[in-house]
Structure 1
């Protein structure tokens, strides 16, 4: 990045809507570097020095309200305005950061220099993932689930959709496995009322009916849990090398085999973690994240909303390594990505809807990173 770039001038041009495509790219690229985040905060604080958010140019505000502000209020859970319409300074700055990043991606896609749809830059295009899953009984019976119904409920040993339509019509106490392919996701309510959202290329094994002193499930891949409280029967999630003990909590677990780590993000409540064959048992508090990658648990405070956005149909990245971004894209679009040559030091800041075609997502990443990807069938690689 050119160190002589006049960031203050570019930011001023951005806020008064006089910035062109090249300048917007320079400004956005500058803030891809984590060391420049403090300068971004300073610019934002100066710009949002008033008590209202209406300083955003009207033409921008109208175009991206659904993309940024409503998303912040409803999906992220930031504090909403009081009846007087006043917003706390912390909320305002956090919203400003996300609006800035969302605007960047929005205008990158909207102001394509050729004035064409992103998909025309590629020979082929791929639709985003959908609600797809299979339910496998311990007897080996496989049920292909109805994607339009989106969720199954296990009740009194019987599995049915939310509308009451039966999936498995034979009451049993057997174990079940819900599995999603690449490009699929699904939701299940367990017999105790716990709700689980399963991300792409994942599986959840659970009993049709919980019995005994604990409620135990096994996860491979990624899932978001809203655990029904029952202090007398703790809920336990087993993943590769880790167990999570829960009383009544909302949290996300990412435990894909190809990531070589287990990431647990707590939204609310309390969980206790343990490793197989080890007495270490740290507890997580809301807004904390644990990463287990061999040596032990590493715990840090995070913005939990970033790690559960997939459940609400969003890719949300903040200083996320490009390779990690590509792994998420690979699973959701059912791809085979060749990681050869993809830089490991590029960090992505962006908010992109998961209902976009693959070409749209890659187009945004290309504009952000100055890289170029090639799609052939379901294979994606970096163009030299």
Structure 2
């Protein structure tokens, strides 16, 4: 069993053991894992023996064989039948079995603190590795409460998990045009479709504020962090992205906005836009970029349009970035603290890699790029 499957199986079983409800997606995950790994009982026990799971009692005090046999008797068939989708009441029975053999009325990672994305490993020259981030966001609907959004809110099928969730949320009568604040924490990304059909991809540590339904004059959103926008055409209502230091105005086009620092940047990949800051205004065409340097907007040709598309396409783009910029992207995506024990320099690098890799695997590439040493210790990435 691969490490990620081991973690998911334990997490789902633990969630059920604590009395939590699973989403439809999680139910399907558990069903498929139990079909894929009919030896799940032994896998869980091995995890316990390897001290990847710590229990509040000794599992040896339970008769595993007796519980397993009783389980088969109750459901009347073997879980080893392939390609069979189990009804939910059977999944609960399986979870109950896992509970009885020690997955836990209380289950947690070693020392009660280690998060599930930390894994022990002997790969990539590391003793600890960190799994990549996932699609997740926290949504505040002003006046109606908060929601946690993940793949279970998916209503538009796409390989990158493009999400549209408006119809899934209950709102108070007469309050259809509420303010939405979408927060993307570290270790997360999120994509959504706005009410006008515009698509947005948001990076870790970003926030987007917008009205559930745009008005008749404009389509305005407020962005903190980084987002890529594919704007639906509407000549009568310009699409405006507002950040703390600049404003981007478009009708139908595609562009990225990065505003993590005091030197925000916009890269235009399609169409035309206007960028305004400190009463200065610059018009851009596809293939150009603009940066705010001090109090001045600087326009230039974009030599790295792939940087704009990296959020949408799901990869790291290192082209024309120094190692500090690269490490900032890594910190957000893997949720690590950076411990820098050497001068980093200002050298620019070239390259990239899919974001769906573990941090340990990424460190192998970074070592080749920079010749620095990278060590993962718990939730720290040490550069030396």
TM tier, smaller: 0.5 to 0.7
4+ residue segments displaced more than 6 Å:
none
Query: Number of aligned pairs?
Result: 254
Q: Report if aligned partners of 1:131, 1:147 keep a CA contact under 8 Å in 2.
A: yes
Q: Which runs of 5+ in 2 are unaligned?
A: 1-120, 155-160
CA distance in structure 2 between the aligned counterparts of 1:342 and 1:353, rounded to whole angstroms:
27
Taking the aligned partners of 1:200 and 1:143, their CA distance within structure 2 comes to 17
CA distance in 2, matches of 1:240, 1:312: 26
Q: Which has the higher contact order (CA 8 A, sep 6+)?
A: 1
CA contact (8 A) 1:240 1:262 kept: no
TM, length-normalised to structure 1: 0.63
Q: What does 1:132-211 correspond to in 2, within 5 Å?
A: 132-139=136-143, 141-148=145-152, 149=154, 150-153=161-164, 159-160=166-167, 166-168=168-170, 170=172, 172-211=176-215
Deviation at 1:124, TM superposition (A): 0.9
State the Cα distance separating 1:140 from its structure 2 match: 5.9
Q: Which residue of 1 aligns with 2:348?
A: 347
Question: How far does the alpha carbon of each residue in 1:153-186 deviate from its partner, in whole angstroms, 9 at most, with x for none?
Answer: 36xxxx13xxxxx133556211001111111011
Q: Residue 286 of structure 2 corresponds to which residue in structure 1?
A: 286
- 1:115-130 equivalent positions in 2, closer than 5 A: 119-130=123-134
Q: CA RMSD in A?
A: 1.8
Gaps of 5+ in 1: 1-116, 161-165
Higher alpha-carbon deviation: 300-309 or 122-131: 300-309
Q: Residue 75 of structure 2 corresponds to which residue in structure 1?
A: none
| In structure 1, C-alpha distance between the alignment counterparts of 2:306 and 2:132, rounded to whole Å | 21
Which residue does 2:371 correspond to in 1?
370
For 1:224 and 1:298, the matched residues in 2 are separated by 20
Counterpart CA distance in 2 for 1:354 and 1:134 is: 21
**Alignment map for 1:239-318 (pairs within 5 Å):** 239-256=243-260, 259-275=261-277, 278-302=278-302, 303-318=304-319
Once the two structures are superposed, residues 202-249 of structure 1 have per-residue CA deviations (whole angstroms, 9 ceiling, x without a partner) of: 111000111141111000011110111111111110012101111111
- Cα 1:269/1:126, change in 2 over 3 Å: same
Query: Alpha carbons of 1:340 and 1:244: their partners in 2 closer, same or farther (altered >3 Å)?
Result: farther
